[in-house]
Amino acid sequence: MSTAAVPALSNHGLTVLSEEEELFRASVREFAEGEIRPKVEAMEHAGKLDPEIIKQCFELGLMAIESPEEHGGAGSTIFNAILAIEELARIDASVSVFVDVHNTLVTNAFMRWANDDQKKKYMPQLATQRVGAYALSEASSGSDAFALKTRAVDKGDHYELTGQKLWITNGNEAEIFVTFATVDPAAGYKGITAFIVEKQFSGFSVGKKEDKLGIRASSTTELILDNCKVPKENVLGEVGKGYKVSIETLNEGRIGIGAQMLGIAQGAYESALKYTQEREQFGQTIGSFQAVQFQLAEMAVDIEATRLLVYNAARLKDAGKPFLKEAAMAKLYSSRCAERVSSKAIELYGGYGYVKDYPVEKFWRDSKIGSIYEGTSNMQLQTIAKLIMK
């Protein structure tokens, strides 16, 4: 990626980046500003990602940030992944979550749990051309993820999976699905197993796309498994250990969602700041009034606190240190920050903030999902409380 003609980046104080990280952030920002921003409105109205944007995400390496070089990836860090997710969300949260889920959930699951043959077969595909999705949620299993009812029946040389998955991000674009089913309902969570399911497998189909409040260009679909035939060699990890795959993968995924919410807040704040320096009332820009300046200052503080939480969680993960509590804190606080900042941005725009001709109402709509997916705010509080009580 070239770094030419990139808007000036703000100094984030204690969140110091290396020269390599700064260059990477700048290259992602250039892509987001130059290629994504002009297409945001069209993608929002169409309710789907532009195929050219998907292609460019692969070509620029954004779909394989942490993937090892031997499998076609960049062999980089989760920190660089969250920098990319943040910068994309600053322009469009739908593109951001598309890249986020592919990297922090799907690729991460393969890196941690796939055997050598599975890595050789699937990771180059995920790095270069085939989108991934993570299929855990069902109608009866949201926060209680292990209440899933999708069944996997051993048929000798393959399993047959039957059930329905809901709320699957990238459902329409994906061709490789990390899918969870139980081989033994009586065993509870110890029966849950992770499978690598391909879109073309017999008995697999994508159902309806949800009509959502926000992140509308991101496809959120149901998946239908009707005696879907999955080869035995496509078990990801061990039979009965799917609960470990899901828990440990989602722990990293929460840092990605934190970065997405951070980007949303940053984008809303920048839009509001610019508007207050242009909009005139009573013979001067509204940014000249102390009351408005104080609101912008509160927004800036909230964003910086969020950035510190998200970056810290990512640094801990890269350093191989415990990060579960910090990831939960980052996700909890960032989702609240994104809502607060985008809501305040609407107010600073006044009536214009409430209409779709201006950008801030979209930031607010996109922010709401942050307190829901990949672990609700209540689940994050439960995790934090459990860990601090230890």
Tens-digit pLDDT profile for residues 297-328: 999 999 999 999 999 999 999 999 999 999 99
Query: Are the CB atoms for 36 and 91 separated by under 8 Å?
Result: yes
* 103 CB-contact burial (10 Å; exposed 0-12 / middle 13-18 / buried 19+): buried
348-376 pLDDT tens trace: 999 999 999 999 999 999 999 999 999 99
As given in the structure block, the two tokens for residue 179 are: 């899918």
Q: Is 374 part of the annotated catalytic residue set?
A: yes
Task: Return the pLDDT at 145.
Answer: 81
pLDDT classification of 142: cutoffs 50, 70, 90: confident
Q: What CA–CA distances, in Å, run from 357 to 248, 273, 315, 349, 350?
A: 41, 17, 38, 12, 13
Q: What CA–CA distances, in Å, run from 205 to 80, 219, 223, 227, 381?
A: 34, 15, 6, 11, 36
Task: Return the pLDDT at 6.
Answer: 45
Mean pLDDT estimate for the chain: 95
Query: Are the CB atoms for 316 and 325 separated by under 8 Å?
Result: no
**Other C-beta atoms within 10 Å of 352: how many?**
14
10-30 pLDDT tens trace: 444 447 899 999 999 999 999
Helix (H, G, I), strand (E, B), or coil: what is residue 155?
A: coil
Catalytic annotation, pick one of 30, 138, 252, 374: 374
**Residues with Cβ within 8 Å of residue 291, at least 6 apart in sequence:** none
Cα(29)–Cα(9) distance, integer angstroms: 9
**Other C-beta atoms within 10 Å of 34: how many?**
13
Task: Return the pLDDT at 210.
Answer: 98
Cα(225)–Cα(232) distance, integer angstroms: 16
Query: Are the CB atoms for 344 and 295 separated by under 8 Å?
Result: yes
Task: Assess whether pLDDT exceeds 60 at residue 9.
Answer: no
Bigger pLDDT: 134 vs 140? 134
Q: How many helices (H) and strands (E) does the chain have?
A: 12, 10
Which neighbouring-strand residues pair with 285?
280
Task: Assess whether pLDDT exceeds 70 at residue 182.
Answer: yes
Task: Assess whether pLDDT exceeds 90 at residue 7.
Answer: no
Percent of the chain with pLDDT over 70: 96
38-84 pLDDT tens trace: 999 999 999 999 999 999 999 999 999 999 999 999 999 999 999 99
The stretch 116-143 carries a mean pLDDT of: 96
Distance of CA 254 to the CA centre of its chain: 8
Cα(100)–Cα(242) distance, integer angstroms: 21
Task: Assess whether pLDDT exceeds 70 at residue 177.
Answer: yes
Task: Return the pLDDT at 16.
Answer: 85
Task: Return the pLDDT at 10.
Answer: 47
Query: Are the CB atoms for 201 and 230 separated by under 8 Å?
Result: yes
238-256 pLDDT tens trace: 999 999 999 999 999 999 9
The stretch 267-282 carries a mean pLDDT of: 98
Cα(287)–Cα(293) distance, integer angstroms: 6
By DSSP bridging, strand 204-209 and strand 220-231 are antiparallel
pLDDT classification of 1: cutoffs 50, 70, 90: low
Query: Are the CB atoms for 25 and 83 separated by under 8 Å?
Result: yes
The stretch 231-237 carries a mean pLDDT of: 98
Task: Assess whether pLDDT exceeds 50 at residue 93.
Answer: yes
The stretch 330-346 carries a mean pLDDT of: 98
Q: Which domains does the chain have, with CATH numbers?
A: 19-128 (1.10.540.10), 132-241 (2.40.110.10), 244-389 (1.20.140.10)
The stretch 113-131 carries a mean pLDDT of: 98
